[in-house]
Copies of this chain bind each other. A is one copy, B any other.
Amino acid sequence: MQSFNPPIRTLMGPGPSDIHPRVLAAMARPTIGHLDPAFVGMMDEIKELLKYAFQTENALTMPVSAPGSAGMETCFVNLVEPGDKVIVCINGVFGGRMKENIERFGGEAIVVEDEWGTAVTPSKVEDACKAHPDAKIVAFVHAETSTGALSDAKTICKIAQDHDCLTIVDAVTSLGGVELKVDEWGIDAIYSGTQKCLSCVPGLSPVSFSEKALDKVRNRATRVPSWFMDLNLVMGYWGQGAKRAYHHTAPVNTLYALHESLVMLKEEGLEASHARHAKVHQQLKAGLEPMGISFVVPEDQRLPQLNSIVIPEGFDDAEVRGRLLNEYNLEIGAGLGALAGKVWRIGLMGDSARPEKVLFCLAALKEVLGK
């Protein structure tokens, strides 16, 4: 068995996105102890940088030491108690996964459904809130990675607040790519991933919790059915204060990488990053239209950084993706769940959201499809 030397790909699927050499270099720096004062100082910087990315002053803003799915679970396992009614919006795979989480922790899921490939309809959320005045939480996906639909988080959060509900928001694919204002919109619990618009390696899940959310966690009637994800414990490790209580061993080098990618986001600026993602989306659109390739999501609900496109008739899903991978070292994504075999997903996220890469992707698609 020998060392693994990966092929050099261009990653334009639903994540991971391409990683900038600065981030890869940061990750390879020598490991130090996870309680080393130098490391603790870096953790504090990560928290500050994440507050900027999330546009929040929430004290508990930090990366969970595991992938986005664990960030999702951290939100639900802490906030949902047995018997709690939770309104959950499903318009793709990840809304469905939220429902699974709610039920596993003994909650009752009130489902608000929208068609896959469309945004969550705020009026449906409002109807559900009215029909279930005892609901405690509204949960929804800001940017559905399975379809590329962007929902109106600001409006949905307002509705939830008007009905005294906490909000749990999936921002895995939106963070860094489109406008996201945790404090201004009044989001109570949010989770994201590092391998999308932050262009960091996969393996961490940035989260943020409002004081209102933490109050619910502190005053639970039952213990959190997880030791690893119990915020009451995690707060002692990532929380403010001089003395940090040992909880688990942080993934030191992956946190170096996240730090570097967040420094890069700060250097570029959030608005500039959003504008860059919007611009390459227009470039992609302008290139796909002459090929007769259409988008799944209506234009006004479309996420710039994750583009579900309809597989043109006469072409085989796996064969085309295989040719792109093998002949061009280009990865694009397959459809997920109900859209499997029907769509491709082109990700323009983080360091993959570059005009030169969009140009290459369009040219490769054109050759393979003979358009």
Task: Please give the residue numbers on chain A whose beta carbons come within 8 Å of chain B beta carbons, in ascending order.
Answer: 1-9, 11, 13, 15-16, 18-19, 22, 24-34, 36-39, 42, 45, 48-49, 65-70, 72-73, 77, 97, 100-101, 103-105, 193, 195, 201-203, 223-228, 246-254, 256-257, 259-260, 262-263, 266, 325, 331, 336
A15 x B97 contact (CB < 8 A): no
B9 x A26 contact (CB < 8 A): no
A191 to chain B, nearest CB (A): 12
Of B7, B30, B73, B225, the residue contacting A19 (CB under 8 A) is B30
A–B complex contacts, Cβ < 8 Å, 30 sampled: A1-B266, A3-B260, A3-B263, A4-B26, A4-B42, A4-B45, A6-B30, A6-B31, A6-B39, A7-B38, A13-B33, A16-B34, A19-B31, A36-B331, A65-B67, A66-B66, A67-B228, A67-B248, A70-B228, A70-B248, A101-B227, A104-B224, A104-B226, A201-B254, A203-B252, A225-B225, A225-B226, A251-B251, A251-B254, A254-B254
Of B68, B248, B251, B259, the residue contacting A4 (CB under 8 A) is B259
B65 x A249 contact (CB < 8 A): no
Contacts of A254 on B, CB cut-off 8 Å? 201, 203, 251, 253-254
A29 x B16 contact (CB < 8 A): no
Contacts of A11 on B, CB cut-off 8 Å? 31-33
A247 x B104 contact (CB < 8 A): no
B249 x A68 contact (CB < 8 A): yes
A305 to chain B, nearest CB (A): 16
A31 x B7 contact (CB < 8 A): no
Contacts of A49 on B, CB cut-off 8 Å? 1
